[in-house]
Amino acid sequence: MLNIASRGKALVIFAAAVAVAVALACGSDPQIVEVERVVTQEVIKEVPVEKVVTQEVIKEVPRDVVVEKEVIKTVEVEKPVEVIKEVIKTVEVEKPVTITETVTLIVTPTPVVMAAPGAINAPQPSGDAGVINIAIADVAPGVGLGSTQLTDAMHYWGVGEVTMKFVSPGVVAPMLATAWELKINDAGKPYGATLTVRDDVIFHGEGLGDRSNNGGSWGPMSAKDVAFTINDGNNAVNNASIHWQAGDFAAMFGSNEAVAMDDSTVDLTFNVDAMGEPLYDPRWSANLMNDAAQAFSVQSLNRFETVGKQEMQDTNFIGTGPLQIVEWIQDDRATLEAVPYTHWNANPKVDRIVFREVGEQNTQVALMETGEIDAAPIELKNLPRMLDGGFQTADNGLAGLASVVFSGNLWETNHVVSNEPLDTAAVYMRDLPWIGDPSPDNRGDKNKDLTDLEEARLVRNALARAIDRDLINTALLNGLGFPNYLNQFSSTNPNWQDKWNYPYDPAESERLLDEAGWTKNSNGNRFDIPLYAPNPGGYQEIADAVAGFWEEIGVSTAVQKYAYSVYRPTIVARSTTLPWVTGCDDGKSTWPWEWPKSQDHTSLTRGGFGCGLEIKEVADTWIAVAGETDIEKQMQMNNDLAQYLFDQAVSFGIVGVPAPITYNPNKIASWPMDPALFSTWNNPEDIVPAGR
């Protein structure tokens, strides 16, 4: 380093010496003469630069004129279809210069002729017609065992498959299982089930590996694979499991292992309660073991035994679906291709699907507009402009039910099944207007004539009636959503009754708050309330809107937006008192009316995720509905539950938010989806490419 510095010094000295030498060589009085020369040279040099600029401006004008002429000609023809045909022919010539000119012709006139102002036009596709590019917000991990956080969505992607398929409420169809039968005990209660699985299903190979033997398949699927997958995920059997449904398996089967009786029969035994009675969940075939819901994708026991747990955990998922993984890079892309053999169900019509992670909505729209992406979950606020431009949508009927959930209302004192005392002290350390303390002698914070529970109920009802749901739907969802009033019941369900609609009535809200004792102070403020909006999450703007409405009735609202990973532990630990905007688990518009509702509002989920609510009436109803086999009785009990939840307003709805997939019809002819209970998209294997 010192050498470098020395060299630098030497250079400076050398430069100085040269300068002195030059100065001496130039005569005795060089200063005035040289300065004058420099100035003169600079002035002369600047002139041609100005000329060049002038020339560039002149050249641009005729280009603009040419474009305008082309636009006018296209409009006069008034045959947009013919223009599109011309483009296809031009591309076939494979002359890059011609293609560039053609693009100008297509893009410029289309909005003028076809679409409303601001419309985003569906572009002509580029690339292979059999390769579909889809943008999604997150490419989750595609590696691993079910028990090691493999994404639970493998069956939504068409890579994995489940035992049953959801058709409609009360109707479940075969998938990997061809038949199933409940096992009934002497008391007439179901205590287990037997499944018969298909014998013509085979596992994928290793992506692009050896395809000589049916794609290098890991062999046929049997009952052993189904039993292995269930036991691997069930944290009551495999206590290392962090499968997304680890707890659901445990709740349904307890420590009872699934057993393969032979190659085609799986024997299942349900969990029991503290008294030894079977805990039968009527949703078992339509939820946890169903393609439409949060379920499992069957994995190969053969592979597990051959390569070992670690290898299976570190390599791509091997499933049985019509699409297999070529490449899966978490948080980047997932490339899937049609299996190279005859699939037991149906082979995809596409050759390849590439899912790209694009988290930013504006980028998704831009990619759709430029044709780099063929489909994406475009938000409702952007959707009309795209529909105006010719894009189309596909959906599976599912809408999320955005709701306000008043976590911290823990009204159960003992666990509903074990009867163990529940620790709820954390949420009652402070008196909060929206939280009711169930202690019998606890009076209201402001109105001592009321119990604390009743006072808080009035407050929540006031807040529920202060929200203009129609306006939120119009302003934030372009009218494509719908007003909703309860977290676990959709107002679009045929069984919905209008008496459960909270009217938009700020005057009534103010009256209720006055009655509860939360009158306005000199600043016009009644009380302060926080409102948590999870990040990431789709309901942050809705939370902002709700806060605006609450401000109007004198409730100062602070919307808090931060990582859900920070909030979730407080929900699991039952220590939070923050109201939040969420759908919880049951906030899905497609959930059947007769299903047991709102397990996440009860102590049944203690130790795991819940909504931060524990309500004995809800828990009792859940258990009663779960144990009932008569659908009419189930629905009547849930009607009563809806009325109770409406009165309590402890988790009221705001709007239903559909989440369609928008696609370019020039690339995708159709995308039929099956009914869904959780995922907003599925069945990519059924995409029909345009022109095929």
Partner 1 sequence: MYSFLIRRIAFVIIALLGATAVVFSLSRMAGDPVLLYAKPSGYGSEDYLDNLRKKLGTDRPLVVQYFRWVGQLIQGDLGRTLLAERPVIDVIQEKIWNTFQLAFAGWFFATILGVPLGVLSAVKRGTFWDYIGRSIALFGQALPAFWVGVMLVLVFAVYWQIFPAAFKGEGFSIKHFVLPTITIGWGAAAGYLRITRSAMLEVLDSEFVKLARAKGVGSSGVIWKHAFKNALIPPLTLSALLLAGLMNGAVVAEVVFAWPGLGRVALVEAVNNNDFPLLTGAVFIFTIIYLIMNFVADVLYAWADPRIRYS
Asked if 450 is part of the footprint of partner 1 (rule: CB under 8 A), the reply reads: no
Q: 251-279: string of b/e by CB count within 10 Å (b at 16+)?
A: bbbbebbbbbeeebbbbbbbbeeeeeebb
Q: Which of 125, 190, 192, 247 touches partner 1 by CB under 8 A?
A: 247
Q: How far is the CB of 198 from partner 1 (least distance, A)?
A: 29
Provide the 3-class DSSP secondary structure of residue 618.
helix
CB of 106 to partner 1, least distance (A): 11
Is the CB of 211 or the CB of 309 nearer to partner 1?
309
User: CA triplet 510, 648, 658: central angle to 5 degrees?
Assistant: 90
Six token digits for residue 74 = 């296209």
Minimum separation from the CB atom of position 388 to partner 1 (A): 16
The interface region with partner 1, picked from 56-64, 132-140, 296-304, 540-548 by CB under 8 A, is 132-140
Window 148-167: contact mask with partner 1 (x via CB under 8 A): xx------------------
> Given the complex with partner 1, which of 333 and 616 has the nearer CB atom?
333
37 to 66, contacts with partner 1 by CB under 8 A?
Answer: 38, 42
The residues near 25 (Cβ < 8 Å, ≥ 6 apart) are none
CA distances from 183 to 189, 290, 453 (A): 8, 19, 43
192 vs 247, beta carbon nearer partner 1 = 247
Determine the Cα–Cα distance for residues 72 and 81; give it in Å rounded to an integer. 17
The residue whose two tokens read 């934030």 is 476
Q: Closest CB to partner 1 among 87 and 688?
A: 87
Pairing type for strands 171-174 and 164-168 reads antiparallel
Query: Which residue number, 288 or 545, has a Cβ lying nearer to partner 1?
Result: 288
In the complex, what is the shortest distance from the CB of residue 417 to partner 1, in angstroms, rounded to a whole number? Answer: 6
Q: Calculate helix-pair angle for 452-465, 506-516, nearest 10 degrees.
A: 160
Nearer to partner 1, 182 or 417 (CB): 417
* Options 17, 26, 88, 179; binder of partner 1; rule CB under 8 A: 26
Least Cβ distance, residue 90 to partner 1 (angstroms): 16
Q: Which is nearer to partner 1, 366 or 635 (by Cβ)?
A: 366
Output 240 or 261, the one with its CB closest to partner 1. Answer: 240
Closest of 166, 173, 538, 156 to residue 379, by C-alpha: 538
The one segment of 177-185, 367-375, 385-393, 667-675 that binds partner 1 by CB under 8 A: 367-375
Among residues 176, 236, 288, 486, the one that binds partner 1 under rule CB under 8 A:
236
370 counts as binding partner 1 under rule CB under 8 A: yes
Task: Specify the residue for token string 């905007």.
Answer: 581
Q: Which range in 212-220, 237-245, 477-485, 679-687 contacts partner 1 by CB under 8 A?
A: 237-245
- Count of CB atoms situated within 10 Å of the CB of 225: 27
393-422 residues in contact with partner 1 (CB under 8 A) are 415, 417-418, 420
Minimum distance, C-beta of residue 181 to partner 1, in the bound complex (Å): 25
Least separation in angstroms between residue 585's CB and partner 1 is 7
Residue 540 touching partner 1 (CB under 8 A): no
Least gap, CB of 606 to partner 1 (angstroms): 6
Candidates 239, 439, 474, 521: give the one binding partner 1 (CB under 8 A): 239
For the segment 559-618, give every residue that binds partner 1 (CB under 8 A).
Answer: 563-566, 568-570, 572-573, 585, 599-600, 603-610
Handedness of CA 244, 247, 253, 254 (dihedral sign): positive
Residue (12 or 167) nearer to partner 1, CB:
12
CA dist., res. 500 & res. 464, Å (int): 11
Which of positions 310-339 make contact with partner 1 (CB under 8 A)?
A: 313-314, 329-333
> Does residue 250 interact with partner 1 by CB under 8 A?
yes
Instruction: Name the 3-class secondary structure at 546.
Output: helix
Closest CA to 315 of 214, 247, 306: 306
CA distance 644 to 347: 48
Query: What secondary structure does DSSP assign to 15-77, as a single string?
Result: HHHHHHHHHHHT-S--HHHHHHHHHHHHHHHHHHHHHHHHHHHHHHHHHHHHHHHHHHHHHHH
The interface with partner 1 within residues 174-193 (CB under 8 A) comprises none
Q: Beta partners for 278?
A: 272
CB nearer partner 1, residue 585 or residue 594: 585
Q: With left for phi above 0 and alpha for psi between -120 and 50, is residue 606 left, alpha or beta? A: beta
Minimal distance in Å, beta carbon 230 to partner 1?
A: 15
**By the 8 A CB rule, do 466 and 552 touch?**
yes
Query: In this complex, which beta carbon is closest to partner 1, that of residue 7 or of residue 79?
Result: 7
Closer of 366 and 631 to partner 1 (Cβ): 366
The type of residue at 623 is I
What is d(CA 260, CA 80) in angstroms, rounded to the nearest whole number?
61
Binding range to partner 1, per CB under 8 A, among 134-142, 168-176, 195-203, 513-521: 134-142
